[in-house]
Amino acid sequence: MTEAGTGQGGEDFRRFMLEHRFGMDEIVTKLNILRDEFAHLHDYNPIESVISRLKSPESLVEKLQRKGLAVDRQPTFDEIRAAITDIAGVRVVCSFVSDVYRVFDMLVDQGDVSTVEVRDYIAHPKPNGYRSLHALVQVPVFLSEGPVPVLVEAQFRTVAMDFWASLEHKIYYKYRREVPAELLERLHEAAETAYALDTTMERLHEEVRGLDPLPDDVVGQLRDGGERPDAALLDALRRLGAAPDQRQH
């Protein structure tokens, strides 16, 4: 499938890609507004960085082929939308685990952002140790012919998680995804070390800000993981991330 080979013309393909770029820009703008607000009006900014990326046409074709949708015929745009939900992606890097959930809540609580799916790889790490909070959100893009709903994948992670993910990506690229078992084991150990660091830094952050400490059972679940994050854990993390005058006593 080439840029003009979608069966609906090159102009339609450019519009399709622009819709996703505009949707991505909408989410980035919302996050940057939050980031600037905290930088200028609050004593603490939970957002370290916001990075966006739009899949290239070549990458889009490759993924379609892996899914078997660009082999025998040209897929329609609706089929592409249904099969590939990460055409537009935004990565939000936060200082602490509590910030991850806090910023996620602030984004999806906005009236024009709809949550389609959430995959919590912090509570449920991938087998290789990968941790991050993935949210598939939908935002309207207002074009000349009217609003168009666009899917954007937003990833929320800590600095430590982002560093590990960057290293893991480089390792898989170097070995062409055929990574030696010993290296995979060490990579998994590094992921656990990074998460232990996140937990330690979270506690130090509590002390510096004078926040109430997390209950021991909640800290244990944060450190060790569980089958799924229970209500007590999520509530504690979100209260921890709230401003001092917003915390419940």
Tokens of 202: 């979270």
Residue 117 known to be catalytic: no
Q: pLDDT tens-digit profile of 86-130?
A: 999 999 999 999 999 999 999 999 999 999 999 999 999 999 999
Gap between the Cα atoms of 121 and 128, Å rounded: 11
Cβ contacts of 67 within 8 Å, gap of 6 or more: 83, 84
Tell me which of 19, 26, 153, 202 is the catalytic residue. 153
Tokens 């944060």, residue located: 222
Instruction: Convert the pLDDT of each residue in 161-220 to its tens digit.
Output: 999 999 998 887 787 778 888 888 999 999 999 999 999 988 887 777 765 555 666 666
Tens of pLDDT, residue by residue over 202-217, are 888 777 776 555 566 6
H helices present in 42-113, as ranges: 57-66, 77-83, 97-108
Report the alpha-carbon distance of residue 158 to residue 94 in Å, rounded.
5
With residue 36 as reference, give the H or E element that holds it.
Answer: helix 10-41
Query: How far apart (Å, rounded) are the C-alpha atoms in residues 151 and 130?
Result: 23
What pLDDT is recorded for position 26?
Answer: 98
User: Would you call 50 helix, strand, or coil by DSSP?
Assistant: strand
Nearest by Cα to 110 from 173, 34, 40, 53: 34
| CATH 3.30.460.10 domain extents, the chain | 10-160
pTM score, two decimals?
A: 0.78
Q: For the structural domain made of 10-160, what CATH number should be given?
A: 3.30.460.10
